[in-house]
Structure formats: structure tokens, C-alpha cells
Amino acid sequence: MKNKRIVVALGGNAILSKDASAEAQQAALAKTAKHLVTLIKQGNQLIITHGNGPQVGNLLIQQQEGATESNPAMPLDTCVAMTQGSLGYWLQNALLKELENEGIDQPVATVLTQVIVSEDDPAFDHPAKPIGPFFSESEAKLMMVETDSVYREDAGRGWRKVVPSPKPLTIQEHQVINTLIENNIITIAGGGGGVPILAESYRGVEAVIDKDLASEKIAELVAADMFIILTSVTHVAINYGQSNQIDLGRVTVANLDEYIKDKQFSPGSMLPKVEAMIEFVKACDGGQGIITSLENIGNLDNGLSGTFITLD
């Protein structure tokens, strides 16, 4: 697995667990950088994407609680951009420090990434992605009337605002990302799934893009040789959590299609990752997809660890 163009999608556990302080998140990213530099030391070109769910949720709470008439809260698309910047800043510096420790002189850049979506995407008629703080039922119903937003009960924990999650059509900055990679610059992009915008107006919309689908679109547009999604487990599994659980090693798109029909993957967890991998492998003939954990990156070179996805 050397001299390849690789897109690595970081899971949320690579940045934030329980402690939301800047210090704790920077410490987590320092550990993450050590694993990522393993791929760089092998001579690979790296594009890194990441989630921002906890961070943008916390920022929305801060925005709402501190809002006044003269200093109103920022909208969701702007908050996504703000967390792209802060997380990119932390990860960029963590990588630079680890590269320096390894004696590697290579630049790192963060690209504020916008994702073009269609105004006609059916997701806009069916908002379902929960964001931000929890409210009581009475508070939520009052805000639905006052703000024309949609709130729903979330797993018995309270009511939360829900927004659309449209499919990414393309990446506005994909040519910029390509230019950086071609000049051997490690690139951080697609943070939090990117800022959703409408192509006709370049106007940001109140929505959240699935980070794995956005990462796949980046991998497709930069003609990546490999797309790696990092999560909390080393393998995709069928019969997950049961006595007959089977970890998947090498699987084809056809295999995964059958497992999806059998409802083997959770819609809120592994399913979008598997779907993103299927799209990538189909779009990039010869491209290979891998789903595994961050800690397992160092074991991928032997081809024996992680779930490897191929077209056939």
C-alpha cells in the first residue's frame, strides 16, 4: 500500500470522546496524527476528511444561548464552516508536529469545502438529521411555530431540531484539492461533510451532508486509488453483536448489496459507510475501499486486517 492517492475519512472518535474542551480535542488529534503519518511515511498522497457532529452541535448551543437581538446566532451552514476551520486548524498543526518528529518536510493545508446539493433533493421535504440541543416537548412545539423549523423527539432524551440531509452532487473546491495533492501537499478537506450550497446561487442551506458520502465524492473527483473510512471497529460485520457475528475481510460490491438487502447494517451507523464504499468502488474502476479503525491503520499494509471492498 505504497505511493497511492488515499482519501481517509476520520470518525468522530478520532477527535472527541467525552471531554469537549479544546485541550482534550487537540490531544486526541495529536494521537490521530501519529496514525495518519504512518500512511505518509509509506510515500502515499493523503487527503483527510473528518466529521464535526459533536463540535457543530456544541457551537449551535453556544450560539443560541448567547444570542441577542444585536448579536444574533449564526445559521447552521456558517457554523459548519466555523467548525471546519477550527478542526482543520487543530489537525493541521498536529500533523505538522508529527511530521517534524519523523523528519518529514511536507506542507499541510486545510480547504474550506463547499458541497453542491440540489434544491429538488427529496431530503428537503423530509428533514431527519437531529442537530443541536435538547428541548422539552412544549419548548420544541413553541419554536416550531415561531421559527418554522421541525423538531422531533429523539430516543427518549428530549426534542431536537431536525434538518435535511441531501446527497452531495459535487465538491465546489475539488480542483483546488487536486492542485494541492498534485503538488504533494497533505490536504484536509470536507470537514463535517462540507458546507451545503445550491449551485444556482452559491447560497448556503440549512442542512447536513453525510460525511461519508461527501468523502466518497471527494475520493471520486480526485481519482483516489484508495478510500479508507475509519470507525470504532476494525471490521464491518454481519450479525453484529450476536453470538454468530462474522467479521468481513475481503468482500465485493455484490456481497455488500446482498447484506444490505438482508438489513445487516444499521442505518444510523454502518450502512452509510458501506453505501459510500459501494459508490466509490463502482465509480473508480480499480479503486479499493477499506473500512477499519484508526488504530488498525498500521496493520493494513499486510492486507490481512480490516474490511477490504473491491468491485469483483
pLDDT digits (tens, 9 = 90+) for 96-145: 999 999 999 999 999 999 999 999 999 999 998 888 778 888 988 988 88
pLDDT digits (tens, 9 = 90+) for 184-230: 999 999 999 999 999 888 899 999 999 999 999 999 999 999 999 99
DSSP 102: T
In this structure, what C-alpha cell is assigned to residue 117?
Answer: 446539493
Whole-prediction pTM: 0.92
In this structure, what C-alpha cell is assigned to residue 150?
Answer: 421541525
pLDDT: is 7 or 161 the higher one?
7
Measure the CA–CA gap between 86 and 299, rounded to whole angstroms.
30
Closest CA to 31 of 17, 14, 48: 14
pLDDT digits (tens, 9 = 90+) for 47-82: 999 998 888 888 988 988 898 999 998 999 999 999
Starting at the edge strand that comes first in sequence, how are the strands of the sheet with 150-153 ordered? 129-135, 159-163, 150-153
Mean pLDDT (whole number) for 247-252: 94
List, in order, residues 6 or more apart from 162 with CB less than 8 Å away. Answer: 127, 128, 129, 130, 131, 150, 151, 152
Helix ranges (DSSP H) in the chain: 22-41, 53-65, 76-101, 137-147, 174-182, 211-221, 253-261, 270-283
Measure the CA–CA gap between 218 and 99, rounded to whole angstroms.
24
Just list the catalytic residues. Answer: 12-13, 129, 211, 273
Contact 166, 207 (CB under 8 A): yes
Contact 112, 48 (CB under 8 A): no
List, in order, residues 6 or more apart from 48 with CB less than 8 Å away. Answer: 7, 8, 10, 36, 91, 186, 187, 188, 189
* Beta-strand pair 186-188/108-110: parallel
In this structure, what C-alpha cell is assigned to residue 162?
Answer: 431536525
Contact 88, 177 (CB under 8 A): no
pLDDT classification of 17: cutoffs 50, 70, 90: low
Please give the pLDDT value at position 13: 65
pLDDT classification of 298: cutoffs 50, 70, 90: confident
What percentage of residues in the chain have a pLDDT greater than 90?
70
Mean pLDDT (whole number) for 285-302: 85
